[in-house]
Amino acid sequence: MSAPIVRPLAELRALVRGWKSRGESIGVVPTMGALHEGHLSLVRAAKASCDRVIVTLFVNPRQFNNAEDFARYPRTEHADAELLGPLGVDALFVPDGDEVYPPDHATVISVSGVTAPLEGAHRPGHFDGVATVVTLLLNMTQADRAFFGEKDWQQLQLVRRLVQDLKLPVEIVPCPCVRAGDGLALSSRNQRLTAEGRARAATLPQALFEAVARIEAGEPAEATLAAAQAGLEAAGFAPVEYLALRDGETLGEPQPGRPARLLVAAWLDGVRLIDNLAVTLP
C-alpha cells in the first residue's frame, strides 16, 4: 500500500492538529522526491523516534541555479508514495507550488556565514532557497524532529544555524550518508550518469577516503588535496569545483582540536556530484 498523499496545507494541518491533541510526536523528512535508500534511512530513523512521520516532497524552484536543472530534476511521486507505504509513513505531503509560494510571497530567509563558501560560492541564491523552503516546511508540518542527511553537509549546518537563530521548536537529527557498494554517496542525481560515468563515479569517494587517511596520518593537507584533485581530473572529473578541508561546523578554516570535514563538488558526465567525510586532524 502507498503512503497517503496529502496536498492542501489545510488537510495537513487538520492531521497535525489531531496528532498533537493526542500527544503524539511528529517527525518530518523533507525531500525533493526521487527517493532512494538514503531517504529511506532518514524515514526509518524518524519512525524509530516519532509517533507520526511526514515526508515532504517539493521540488523547490528557488534552490535551483538554472531553469534547465529544475526542469530535468526527476519527478517520481507515485513511485515515491509506493516506496514509503511499507515504511508506515503517515503522510506524504506534496504541496502545490502556488501554496508554498503564492504570487505575493515576499519573504526570503537568508543565513550568513556558514552558507558563504563552497556550495554558496558556486551556487548563488541556492542556500536562500533552501533556508526559505526549510523554514516553510518546518512551519507547515509543525514537526518536533526533522531528519537531514549528512551527505548535504553544508545544508545540514545551515539548517542547524537557522533553527538555533530563529528559535524554532524543532530538533534537527543528522543521519549518516548512505553509500552504494562501491562507495558512491546515494543521490537522486546519480540516475543521470551514463553507465560508464556511473562506473567511474566511485573514484570520487575513493579519492576522499584516501585523502582523509593521509591527512589523519599527518601528511600536509595542501599537497594531499592537490594530489587528490589531480587524480580526480585525470579520472575525467571536470571541473572539480572545490575540494576543501574545513571546520565541520562553521565551514571556515579548520581549527586544531575541532572536528573537521573534507568536502568536494565535481562534475562528471554533465552531472554535479557532492560528497564529504569527517576528518580528525592530527
Among the listed residues 15, 26, 32, 175, the single contact to ligand PAF using CB under 6 A: 32
Nearer to ligand PAF, 32 or 208 (CB): 32
Say whether residue 144 binds ligand PAF (CB under 6 A). Answer: no
Among the listed residues 60, 115, 132, 276, the single contact to ligand PAF using CB under 6 A: 60
Per-residue HEC secondary structure of 23-79 comes to CCCEEEEEECCCCCHHHHHHHHHHHHHCCEEEEEECCCHHHCCCHHHHHHCCCCHHH
Whether the CB-CB separation of 281 and 218 falls below 8 Å is answered with: no
Q: Give the C-alpha separation, 92 to 94, whole Å.
A: 6
How far the first Cα of the chain sits from its last, in Å, is: 51
One-letter amino acid for residue 23 of the chain:
G
Count of beta carbons in the 10 Å neighbourhood of residue 176: 12
Say whether residue 31 binds ligand PAF (CB under 6 A). Answer: yes
Say whether residue 41 binds ligand PAF (CB under 6 A). Answer: no
* Residues in 121-140 that interact with ligand PAF by CB under 6 A: 130, 133-134
Position closest to ligand PAF via CB? 30
Is residue 155 annotated as involved in ligand binding? yes
**Would you call 59 helix, strand, or coil by DSSP?**
coil
DSSP 151: T
* Minimal distance, residue 262 CB to ligand PAF, in Å: 20
Q: Which of 39, 105, 122, 126 is catalytic?
A: 39
Cell of 226: 592537490
Q: Are strands 171-175 and 91-93 parallel, antiparallel or unpaired?
A: unpaired
Nearer to ligand PAF, 20 or 62 (CB): 62
Nearer to ligand PAF, 155 or 203 (CB): 155
Say whether residue 63 binds ligand PAF (CB under 6 A). Answer: yes
Residues of this chain that bind ligand PAF (CB under 6 A): 30-32, 60, 63, 130, 133-134, 152, 155
Q: Which residues are catalytically annotated? A: 39
